[in-house]
Amino acid sequence: MARSSSRNDWGFPRWRSYGSGTAATAVRICDRHGCTEPGDCPAPKSPNSPERWYFCQQHAGEYNRGWNYFEGLTAEEAAAREAEETRDTSGYEESRHHKWAGPGDGSRSRDEMRALDVLGLEPDVEFDAIRAAWRMLAKSNHPDVRPGDADAATRFQAIQAAYEVLRAAEEARTWKP
């Protein structure tokens, strides 16, 4: 029986590295006339079309500078599409494993930033300062200290909720398994 000339290195031990096959790699060339660079940046040929141009990075940049996303739409349709795409997404809960990439100043989530605004603190404040501000505001707005004041009771509830958000975030940030 004749031995096959093709190599199959999937067994053990591997004498060559992965991807060291002898087959040629297909490279798509940029669709811009006269360009010989690899075309690895897809760009739509027209709005809402599945057909794509494939440009190199330089020509993709040129193409994108001239692209009008709202071409062919009336002013009302363009405004409606822009409003739909920029609407607030604060109703969605952020997943725990993506906490590091949340909105805000880069280190805190949007909820944490709102809680810091309620407490009147800067975004880069330490948790000890958060606790001190919370105690001060809670003592001054507590319903037992200001009986009959509905505004103080509402402020006290907002302060408590803000502190709970910040405390939970600090626990999640410092928790080690």
- Beta strands in the chain, from DSSP E residues, in sequence order: 41-44, 52-55
**Cβ proximity of 145 and 139 under 8 Å:** yes
Looking at residue 10, its pLDDT comes to 59
- Dihedral sign for Cα atoms in the order 126, 127, 132, 135: positive
The two tokens of residue 83 are 């409003």
Q: Which helix (H) or strand (E) holds 42?
A: strand 41-44
**pTM of the prediction?**
0.42
CB 36 within 8 A of CB 12: no
Give residue limits of the domains in the chain: 26-72, 102-174
Residues with Cβ < 8 Å from 99, sequence gap 6 or more? 109, 172
Nearest to 30 by CA among 53, 52, 46, 49: 53
- pLDDT level of residue 167 (50, 70, 90 thresholds): very high
Q: What is the pLDDT of residues 67-79, one digit of tens each?
A: 777 778 888 988 8
pLDDT tens figures, 93-123: 555 555 554 444 567 778 888 899 999 998 8
Q: How confident is the model at residue 64 (pLDDT cuts 50, 70, 90)?
A: confident
Identify the residue whose tokens are 């398994």. Answer: 177
Highest mean predicted confidence (pLDDT) among 73-77, 89-93, 159-163: 159-163
Outline where 1-149 has alpha helix (H).
57-65, 75-85, 110-119, 127-141
CATH class of 102-174: mainly alpha
pLDDT of residue 139: 93
CA atoms lying within 13 Å on the CB side of residue 60: 16
| Residue count of the chain | 177
**3-class DSSP assignment, residue 162:** helix
Tokens of 36: 């010989």
**Could you give the angle at the alpha carbon of 70 between the alpha carbons of 64 and 76, nearest 5°?**
160
